[in-house]
Amino acid sequence: MKLKPLADRVVIKMVEAEETTKSGIILTGSAKEKPQVAEVVAVGPGGNVDGKEVVMNVKVGDRVITSKYSGTEIKLDGEEYTIVRQSDILAIVE
């Protein structure tokens, strides 16, 4: 199954958080922070959204930083994705 976001929506997949600290301490699942870096999987077409013209600035394959608790989480074919608005993306990681 393939996801095709509408309007200014972007489908992202979170990148796994580090499991060890810089000093080598292994973190348990509850001690890890929710990851904020994600990879863009699909991008909506943009266009006229809420009366404003939206140009999509991200593309598939970009690594991005999102707001910590933004978007809608979904599970599809055993994979977890998050659907966010482009405005919830704070930066592109280069």
pLDDT at position 66 is 93
Confidence check: pLDDT of 10 > 80 = yes
Q: For domain 9-93, give the fold.
A: 10 Kd Chaperonin, Protein Cpn10; Chain O (2.30.33)
Q: Tokens for 12, please give them.
A: 């992202």
Higher pLDDT, 73 or 19: 73
What are the domain boundaries of the chain? 9-93
Q: Whole-angstrom Cα distance, residue 43 to residue 46?
A: 8
Backbone CA torsion sign across 71, 56, 12, 14: negative
pLDDT at position 31 is 45
Confidence check: pLDDT of 23 > 90 = no
* Contact status, residue 24 vs residue 35, Cβ threshold 8 Å: no
Q: Give me the half-sphere count of Cα atoms (radius 13 Å) on the Cβ side of residue 53.
A: 1
